[in-house]
Amino acid sequence: MCGIVGYVGKQKASAIILEGLKRLEYRGYDSAGVCVLQGGKLDVAKKAGRVENLVKEVTKHHLTGTTGIGHTRWATHGGVTDANAHPHVSSDGKFALIHNGVIENYSQIKGFLLSKGYTFQSETDTEVLCNLIAYHYAKEPVEGSRSPHGNGQGNGGAIATSRFLESVRKTLRHVEGTYGIAVLCVDYPAELVAARKASPLLLGVGDGEYIIASDASALISRTQNVVYLKDGELVHLTKTGFTITTLDQEDVSPVVDKITWSIKDAEIGTYAHFMEKEIFEQPLALENSMRGRFSEDGSTANFGGLNLTASELRQIDRFMFCACGTAWHACLVTEHLIERFARLPVEVDYASEFRYRNSPLDRNTLFFVMSQSGETIDTLAALREAQRKGYRVLAINNVVGSTIAREANGGIYQHVGPEIGVASTKAFTSQLLLGAMLALYIARLRDMSFSDGVIYVKALKGAPDLVRDALKQAPHIQAIAKRFAHHTDFLFLGRLSLFPLALEGALKLKEISYIHAEGYPAAEMKHGPIALISEKCPSVFFAPKGEIFNKVVSSMQEIKARKGPVIAIITEGCELPPGLADEVITIPDCHEAVLPIVAAVPVQLLSYYIAVERGCDVDKPRNLAKSVTVE
C-alpha cells in the first residue's frame, strides 16, 4: 500500500525516482508524485492516476536536482485527487514528505497545528506529519553536532546531527500509527531523512548514491547492496554517507545485505502481463522452492531455517496457521495435508481475526504465519500477538529481509523471485508446495514409513513437470474464457484439499475480473448457493479421481438439473457422464499432496483470460494493492 522512493546522489533524481515508481506501482496506483530539491526550492509535480500521468506532468517541470522523493498512492485518508497526492509540503514551504501508512492520531495533531496557524491543502493524515515536522523545526534551537566516525558510509561520513533530523525524530515520537516516510528540507539541499514503523523501508547503498524505497524492485537497477531498516529507525542521507539512529537517538550499526535476484527477474519480458508471466514461471518457481530441501535418502524434507530440532518438533501436538487472502487459502491446504499425513490437529485463522480474537492456544502449539510479501500488516500483527504470548512463530515467506522474515523466530523462504502481479499465483503454488513438504517432514517424524516418504518425495519432485503439463491447457482455457467472460456470477466448488482451491479460484476471478464469484465445498452448495443457479451462473467444479469423484459428479448433476452451466476440472482417466459438463479441462492425475498445486493452474488461467477478455487491468486491479500494509 503506497510505494515510496527517495534519492540522494549525483544523477538527476527525477529520472531515477520515476523509474522506481513504475516498479512500485503495484503497491498503489491512485496517484503519483515527485519532489526535487533544486535552486533552494522544493519543486513538486503530482497527479491523480497512474505513474504515466505523472511522467507527462513532470515534463512541464524542469527537474534537474539530484535530491528527491517520489510516491505512488493507495488512498486511505482523502479521495483520489491531485491535492491528496503525495509529496505534501508544509505550510511554511520548508518540508516535503511522502508517507506509506496511517497516522492514527492525525486529527488531534491537526487540531493542535491549526491552533498554531498552520494551514492544510489536503485531507490526508500525511500533510499533518509534514507540518508537525515544520513546527518542531521552528522550535528546535541550535544545530547540535556529533563527532564524525566511520569511513564515509554507514554511521560515518561526517554527518552532523541536525535540526532537520531532530525535528523529524521529535515529530515521530508524537505519532501513533504506522509509517514509512521520506522527508526533504529546503535548508539541507543534499540531504534526506527517512524512517519507518511497520511500513517497509530499505536503503540501497550505491556507487556515490543512496536510494530509499519501499521494496528492492525500485532500486535493484542501481544497486544490490541494501540495508533493511527496522521499526523505529531513522536514516539520514547525504551525498557522502548515511547514519542510522533510533527514535531514542541511539546509533545503529548498519548491516549491508546483498539482494540475490536481479533486475531481469522483475521485468515482464515477452509477456502481456506480469500475472501471465508468473503463471507460466511456476514450474521454475517450484523447482527453486524445493531445491536442496529433500533428504539424501529421498524420504523426507529438510528445513534448516525452522531453528527447531527433530526432538523439539516431536513435542508439538498442534499447529496454528495465520495468513490473509491467497496465503490463507494455502494454509487451508496445508491444514488438510498435515492432518491427513502427520495426523496432528491444525487450526487456520485469518490473521486479521486472530489478532483481536484472543483465541486460547495450547502450550505445545507451533505457530506459523504465511505471507508472500512479509509485510501484510494483519499477518505481522498476528505474529507479534503470538510472540507476545510466548509462542515461537515461524514464517513461510517469499521476500527476503521483509519485516515478517526478520521478526519471525525461524521459517522457510519461498525463493520464487519477485511476484509483481497483484493477483498472487507463483507465490501461492510455492506455498502449497512448502506446506506439502512441511506435512511430509512432520509426518516422517511421526508415523509415516520410509517407503511412503519416498513415494511422497518422488511425487513432489514431479510437481514442476506436472504443472508444465497443466499449462499446456492454456489455449483450451482461453477459449472457455471467451465463452464465459460475459457472465456476472460464478460458483467454484471443490472438496477436501480442493475446497481451498475453490476459494482461490473465486478470489482470483473477483479480484482481476470484477465478477462476483463464490467458493464453496461442493456438497455444501445444496445448502444455499444452489438458489443462485440458473443458466446465467456457471459452476467450476474440481472433480479429481478418487473416493469423492462420484459424489462431486452428483453435485454436478444437481447443478445441471437447474440449467446451470458446468465447467469441470477433472484429472486424467476420469470419465464424466456424457453431456454433464459444458466444458472439461483435464489436468494430470497425481499424488494427493501435489494435486492442489496442479489444480491451481486452470483456475489461474481461467481468471486471467476472462480478465483479459473483459479488458480489465490485470496487473493493477481497481482498489487493490499488492502489499496490504494498512489494517
Where along the sequence are the contacts to ligand M6R (CB under 6 A)? 324-327, 371-373, 376, 379, 422-424, 511, 627-628
CB of 609 to ligand M6R, least distance (A): 16
Helix boundaries (H) for 116-154: 126-139
Q: Which is nearer to ligand M6R, 423 or 569 (CB)?
A: 423
Give the span between the Cα atoms of 203 and 213, in whole angstroms.
7
Q: Which is nearer to ligand M6R, 353 or 447 (CB)?
A: 353
CB of 502 to ligand M6R, least distance (A): 15
Give the span between the Cα atoms of 120 and 93, in whole angstroms.
12
What's the CA angle centered on 558, arms 553 and 562, to 5 degrees?
A: 140
Active site residue 2: yes
CB of 628 to ligand M6R, least distance (A): 5
Active site residue 258: no
DSSP SS3 for 358 = coil
Q: Which is nearer to ligand M6R, 243 or 379 (CB)?
A: 379
CB of 624 to ligand M6R, least distance (A): 6
CB of 376 to ligand M6R, least distance (A): 3
Q: Which is nearer to ligand M6R, 69 or 102 (CB)?
A: 102
Give the span between the Cα atoms of 500 and 515, in whole angstroms.
19
Give all strands of the β-sheet with 365-371 in edge-to-edge order: 346-350, 318-323, 365-371, 393-397, 410-413
CB of 424 to ligand M6R, least distance (A): 4
Q: Which is nearer to ligand M6R, 189 or 305 (CB)?
A: 305
DSSP SS3 for 3 = strand
DSSP SS3 for 70 = strand
CB 300 within 8 A of CB 440: yes
| Contact residues for 410 (Cβ-Cβ < 8 A; gap 6+) | 305, 306, 307, 308, 392, 394, 395
CB of 603 to ligand M6R, least distance (A): 12
Q: Which is nearer to ligand M6R, 57 or 281 (CB)?
A: 281
CB of 383 to ligand M6R, least distance (A): 11
Burial of 525 (0-12, 13-18, 19+ CB in 10 A): buried
CB of 232 to ligand M6R, least distance (A): 22
244-249: Cβ within 8 A, 24+ apart:
244/154, 244/155, 245/165, 245/169, 247/169, 247/172, 247/173, 249/169
The residue to which cell 475480473 is assigned: 513
CB of 39 to ligand M6R, least distance (A): 41
CB 403 within 8 A of CB 376: no
Give the span between the Cα atoms of 48 and 33, in whole angstroms.
9
Write the CA distances from 425 to 150, 418, 518, 594, integer angstroms: 45, 11, 19, 16
The residue to which cell 508471466 is assigned: 277
Pick from 169, 3, 6, 198: which is nearest to 103 by CA? 198
Pick from 271, 260, 196: which is nearest to 232 by CA? 196
Which of 508, 510, 620, 626 is an active site residue?
Answer: 626
Q: Is the peptide bond before 87 cis (omega within 30 degrees of 0)?
A: yes
Give the span between the Cα atoms of 265 and 284, in whole angstroms.
12
Give the span between the Cα atoms of 513 and 344, in whole angstroms.
38
Q: Which is nearer to ligand M6R, 162 or 373 (CB)?
A: 373
Q: Which is nearer to ligand M6R, 84 or 424 (CB)?
A: 424
Q: Which is nearer to ligand M6R, 120 or 514 (CB)?
A: 514
DSSP SS3 for 211 = strand
Grid cell for residue 418: 519477485
Pick from 469, 470, 424, 430: which is nearest to 607 by CA? 424
Q: Which is nearer to ligand M6R, 327 or 457 (CB)?
A: 327
Which of 2, 331, 537, 616 is an active site residue?
Answer: 2
Cite the active site residues: 2, 626
